[in-house]
Amino acid sequence: MALDTEPIGSIPRPRYLLDGLAGGVGEAALAELRDRALRETVKLFTETGSPVITDGEQTKPSFLTYPVDGLATLSPDGPVVPFADGHTRQLPALTAGPFRYQVFAERYYRAAAAVSSVPVKQAVIAPSALSLLYPAGGIDGYPREAFLDDLTDQAEQDIRRCLDAGAASVQLDFTEGRLSLKLDPSGGLLRSFVDINNRVLDRFTGEERARIGVHTCPGGDQDSVHSLDVDYAGLLPSLFALRAGRVYLQLASEPDRRRVLGIVRDHARADQRIFVGVTDPIDPVVETPGQVRDRVLEAAEFIPPDRLGTCDDCGFSPFADDTSTSRDTAFAKIRARVEGTALAAEVLGT
């Protein structure tokens, strides 16, 4: 039995798609560009030998805002997320209820599965991230609890539609987890995020939750991060309280991996499969299969091999306009992950 290895999500978009997204082409032409990019990405992904792939998020506006793309009741002045290099990303803000997804991730899964010869996993945004769209000052006639009820219903649909359509797994992107401790060192915001996510996860059976995972990282974007300076020790105990069967951890870029792995060993539940990051999308240097192998063997000192898998630290281009990493580099890193994980499996005898 080989060690499981999975990607996290996004792949940098080809230049022709970025040019089309910038404007100057009609909707029909843009749809053709998106389809071309999806097919090429699936082909290149499959050629890496990855046993599970994603759609590379080629047709998502971003990993974060795809459900609300086109929602009329949004203003552009939501929370601002600062990154270490000084650039920012700004979320929209909800101005009225009810809250409804405009797009469900099932659409992306079905498009990729239709042109893929290998299993496809689907990333969805965690409901905790979308909870940030509700303004601190509230909305007249639409109390926060009503919003959370709607958000829970919509997030459940987003996950369930992907599972029912046949996704190999569904991954909740939870990059806001570590950031929450920067915004609120008391941990109150993190606890609320865990509660919101578990509110959704509790609607699924144990068998279904075994196919649902949660991914955490310090928010890679444009070769920078928003919360790598936050101690993982503050996040991980709460992360493992999420009632998901899979946990995808950024680890390759962590300065003290063994310390983090010790925390994982002490707090992960026995029913959770742990995928450790062995490639760093922000580092332009492509890891060798030997380096990946050694990182896996290090992790196996703390996590039983039958519960251990590997992944990339995060997506390679979570926002469509992020061109800091090339497609060639992304696929080279994925290939190294796949080959290095196989080398480690041989050593471990799995």
Per-residue pLDDT, averaged over 126-142, amounts to 97
Total of domains in the chain:
1
d(CA 188, CA 176): 13
Q: Is the peptide bond before 67 cis (omega within 30 degrees of 0)?
A: no
Q: Does residue 256 surpass a pLDDT of 60?
A: yes
| pTM, to two decimals | 0.95
Q: What would the pLDDT profile of 64-82 be if each residue is shown by its tens digit?
A: 899 999 999 999 999 999 9
Per-residue pLDDT, averaged over 194-206, amounts to 98
Q: Does residue 163 surpass a pLDDT of 90?
A: yes
Per-residue pLDDT, averaged over 33-47, amounts to 97
Q: What are phi and psi of 224, to 5 degrees?
A: -140, 175
d(CA 211, CA 312): 18
Q: Please give the DSSP secondary-structure letter assigned to residue 224.
A: B
Q: What is the pLDDT of residue 230?
A: 92
- Dihedral angle sign, alpha carbons of residues 139, 143, 148, 153: negative
CATH of the domain at 106: 3.20.20.210
Contact 198, 151 (CB under 8 A): no
Give the range of the structural domain holding residue 184, as residue numbers without chain letter: 4-348
Q: What would the pLDDT profile of 275-334 be if each residue is shown by its tens digit?
A: 999 999 999 999 999 999 999 999 999 999 999 999 999 999 988 888 899 999 999 999
Buried (b) or exposed (e) across 121-150, using 16+ Cβ within 10 A?
A: bbbbbbbbbbbbbbeeeebeebeeeebbeb
Per-residue pLDDT, averaged over 98-113, amounts to 97
Residues in Cβ contact with 32 at an 8 Å cutoff, skipping those fewer than 6 apart? none
For residue 341, the number of C-alpha atoms closer than 13 Å in the C-beta half-sphere is 28
Q: What is the pLDDT of residue 61?
A: 84
Q: What is the pLDDT of residue 23?
A: 85
Q: What are phi and psi of 104, to 5 degrees?
A: -105, 145
Q: Does residue 2 surpass a pLDDT of 90?
A: no
Per-residue pLDDT, averaged over 124-131, amounts to 97
Q: What is the pLDDT of residue 62?
A: 87
Q: Does residue 1 surpass a pLDDT of 60?
A: no
Residue count of the chain, please give it.
350
